[in-house]
Amino acid sequence: LSTASRFEQELESRGRLDNMAGQVLATLFFEPSTRTRLSFETAMLRLGGQVVTVADPKTSSAAKGESLSDSMRTVEGYADLIVIRHPQKGSAQEAAGAVEIPVINGGDGAGQHPTQALLDVYTIQKEKGQLEGLTVALVGDLKNGRTVHSLVHLLARLNTRLLFVSPPSLRMPEEITAEIRRMGVAVDQTEDLEAAMGQSDVAYITRIQRERFEDPAEYERLKGAYVVDRAMVNRAKAGITIMHPLPRVNEINTDVDGYEGAAYFRQAANGVPVRMALLALVSGRE
C-alpha cells in the first residue's frame, strides 16, 4: 500500500515512470473483465513497460483445447510476467505452478481476487483516513463473490468488525467464516441490510454472480435481494462509505452516485497505483 501511494504521487507529479522499461506483461483473460485487465495494462504502461493480451478466450488456442499449462509455458517464452483470470477455482495456482515467471491471480472463478482486495483496502485507507477499528458490511453474493473472499482475509488483520449481509443461500462459505473467527474477528451474519448500514463505516456491495448459478430461475429470484438507494444511504450511519468492485447491475441505484461517500469509481481508479505497485514489487523493480 505504501508503494502504491508513492507511485500515485509520482504519477501525479511526473506523468510516467520507467520502473518496468523493457519488460513485457501478458494479460490472459479467459473470463470477461473491464477494470482488472485495463487497470493492470494501464499500470504496466504507466511504468514504461509493454503489454500483450488475450482479452477474449475465443481468440486464443484455449478454444482449440490447449491445456492451461501448455498455454502458460508458451506465454512464458514471450513475457516477463503474467496476469491471469480464469473461470476455474484454483486455476491461477495451477498456472503459477507451470512456469518460473511471476503469475498474478486476476480472479479464479468463485475462488479469490487478491489484487482487488488490495485496492479495496487502499481505497478504505484513502476514504476513511484509517484502516483499523472500522465496522465493514459485506453485502450481496458472499457465496460466489471472489472479491469478498479475498477482502475478508485482509480486513481480518485490521481489527475490523465484519457484518455479512446476504440471503441465506448466498452466505459466505463456512470455511472462510470459521477461519476469520479463529483469527479473533467479530463476525455477524444477517439478512437485514438496513440494520447493518445503520452500524457500518463502510458498506461493500456486490453483484449477484449470475454466471455461477446452475439454475437461472434461482438467479432471477435472488437478483433483486438488495438494492441500495439514496434514501437508504440517508438513513445509514452518518458518513458511511459505499464501495462496490463493479460492475453493478442494479444493486446500487444511480441516485447514490452523487453522494459524497459513494467511492466506487474512485475505488476503480485506485486499481492503477495498486497494480503498479504489484507489478514492480513482484519484479523487484519498486
Site residues (CB under 6 A) for ligand NCD?
35-36, 107, 113, 116, 146-147, 206-207, 245-246
User: Toward ligand NCD, which CB reaches closer, 117 or 193?
Assistant: 117
Least separation, in Å, of the C-beta of 143 and ligand NCD? 13
Is 35 marked active-site? Answer: yes
Least separation, in Å, of the C-beta of 142 and ligand NCD? 12
Is 64 marked active-site? Answer: yes
Least separation, in Å, of the C-beta of 244 and ligand NCD? 8
Least separation, in Å, of the C-beta of 32 and ligand NCD? 8
- CA pair distance 74, 20, nearest whole angstrom: 22
User: Toward ligand NCD, which CB reaches closer, 46 or 146?
Assistant: 146
User: Toward ligand NCD, which CB reaches closer, 19 or 245?
Assistant: 245
The catalytically annotated residue of 14, 58, 64, 182 is 64
Is 123 marked active-site? Answer: no
The catalytically annotated residue of 46, 113, 149, 207 is 113
User: What's the full length of the chain, in residues?
Assistant: 286
The catalytically annotated residue of 3, 6, 35, 285 is 35
Least separation, in Å, of the C-beta of 38 and ligand NCD? 11
Please check whether residue 80 is in contact with residue 32, taking contact to mean a CB–CB distance below 8 angstroms: no
The catalytically annotated residue of 37, 46, 85, 207 is 85
Least separation, in Å, of the C-beta of 182 and ligand NCD? 25
Please check whether residue 241 is in contact with residue 203, taking contact to mean a CB–CB distance below 8 angstroms: yes
User: Toward ligand NCD, which CB reaches closer, 105 or 147?
Assistant: 147
Phi then psi for residue 262, to 5 deg, are -75, 105
- CA pair distance 63, 76, nearest whole angstrom: 19
User: Toward ligand NCD, which CB reaches closer, 42 or 199?
Assistant: 42
- CA pair distance 189, 196, nearest whole angstrom: 10
User: Toward ligand NCD, which CB reaches closer, 19 or 149?
Assistant: 149
- CA pair distance 112, 146, nearest whole angstrom: 5
- CA pair distance 67, 70, nearest whole angstrom: 5
Residue type, 171: R
Could you list the active site residues?
Answer: 35-36, 64, 85, 113
